[in-house]
Structure 1
């Protein structure tokens, strides 16, 4: 069972997210918070597997709450809920250690997929957010694309397969099942891939996969 902390200051948004999550029998909403400070307190009390945090909240915003939760509870993965125009928040959330980024107006299936992916140690980027990050965040898209393709060119075909599935949000166990590999083998591949890509974490590797055109989605293919 994946235990989730849900934090959003809007009651209707919280109710909607809770309703979506509870359609999955493997997910339980263990606690709900209305602000960032309460989210931290409840995370410490309940130690959820995943914290789903709104970016904008009173008292303490979701980004600061994410950073504190990741610092004090590194076993708790963080998913940020954003609106479409909050590109700068996505960049800051990356730095805070968030492993998932979802749009409030996105497909409800993405919410469940994202929570499951980060709970299993993966990373999940809403395809629209990933495309927005790649095309607009920080500018210099062509330079980033060229760099990503140059780095990924050093990977073997099998390593590219693994990286593409990382970009799709799959955990090591799920990648192993899809590629018929032992999870330990996938971990070994990931060590090599992260080194060659000079990626600090799995989310960076996922973004490089998008930038290099390895992951189907908006703007790719």
Structure 2
């Protein structure tokens, strides 16, 4: 109905308006299609973990997330690396440019997490995100990538170069520390990277709560 109204309306539309409308319609199509695919996959796939769990001995786990403040219109990402005892090894957060979609923001978090651990020479074995759409976009080769094609391709290349790294989906309740870091990054005036011995007390408390709950 909206399409017919715009095409048949007697009001003249500039090319810019028409392009913006088409762009919004295409974005809405990809978002709706991805949601339908995800709903179908949820019926056939094993339930994602609801609580944070420690990785195997001598393995490192990286959890990432994205956050958004509707008032300031600021997007940010955050992540944390923990060892098999649940102890934090590295934490980071930063602002990102406004993404074309929420899923794109989650994909930026995944990409930045891999690159951050590479820069700090950390051998990560498990990477988790609470965005099912983002995980499926990366792990399903036949998925229609839509607006996220470029970043998904970059992430797949990064994963191929690190064959030991597995990308998994978890529930939000299993990703609370990464979400808190992304939320903190939204209000932070500058990006941050914390290593062992530098973690703020609020982050340590969140990590302990994760361990107690698991």
TM-score scaled to structure 1, two decimals?
0.24
Higher RCO (CA-CA < 8 Å; seq separation 6+): 2
Structure with the larger strand share: 2
TM-score between the two structures when normalised by the length of structure 2: 0.25
